[in-house]
Amino acid sequence: MLERYKTVRQAGNKEIVIKKSRFIGYGKPVETEEEAIAFIEDLKKKHWNATHNCSAYMIGERDEIQRASDDGEPSGTAGKPILEVIKNQGLKNVAIVVTRYFGGIMLGAGGLVRAYTDGAVAAIEAAQSITKVLHQEVFVEVDYTWLGKLENELRNREMRMGDTQFTDKVTLTCLPIQSESDSFVAWITDLTQGQADIRMGEAVYYIEGE
């Protein structure tokens, strides 16, 4: 799993008008090619009367899946520019559709490339670019006598925290960045003089800065 990657937060859309043609950019986070295809097909049904529904998506840790469709526009003037925007912004697991309603003025090949590029940028703006960072669940079980000191030290370290469970002992869910989890465990062990019961949980992505 990647330590961090850029994607989009949510499904979103934004419309721009270029020489009387309406371009509606749609962006969405997707985890699989099936999800991307379903997203594109849904928009084709929604905009069945549009002149074109051009699209691109890129999926996988190493961008293994890359697809682009001009949907009837001249070859290379729509799908490829959309895909290039995804690449240039360093995004992963993203699908974009740019829907066009022709306004009566021909744009030419260069104009189409610029228009679909702008439509893709608008889609990403609407879907909100974010960075996801891989964190490691670390469950720290201690006697209640350690709780105040631990909470204070974790606050000072600005540690991301999950739920706290209170039973006969207290279990804190700490979420260090995965690459730092071994040093974090060593720090906790030293801090509690070896009296903490430490268990590793799952690796989980969280949005950076939130």
**Domain spans of the chain, in order of start:** 4-127, 131-207
Which long-range contacts link 185-191 to residues 24+ away (Cβ below 8 Å)?
A: 185/138, 188/138, 188/140, 191/149, 191/150, 191/153
Among 58, 41, 59, smallest CA distance to 99 is for: 41
User: Is the whole model's pTM more than 0.85, yes or no?
Assistant: yes
Residue 155 sits at the vertex; the CA angle it makes with 154 and 158, to the nearest 5 degrees, is 90
At 149-170, the pLDDT tens digits run 999 999 999 999 999 999 999 9
β-strand partners of 31 = none
Domain 4-127: give its CATH superfamily. Answer: Impact, N-terminal domain (3.30.230.30)
Q: What is the rounded CA–CA span in Å between residue 48 and residue 149? A: 62
Mean pLDDT of 180-202: 97
Q: What is the mean pLDDT of the chain?
A: 97
Task: Find tokens 């999926």 and name the residue.
Answer: 59
Does the domain made of 131-207 have the CATH classification 3.30.70.240?
Answer: yes
At 73-94, the pLDDT tens digits run 999 999 999 999 999 999 999 9
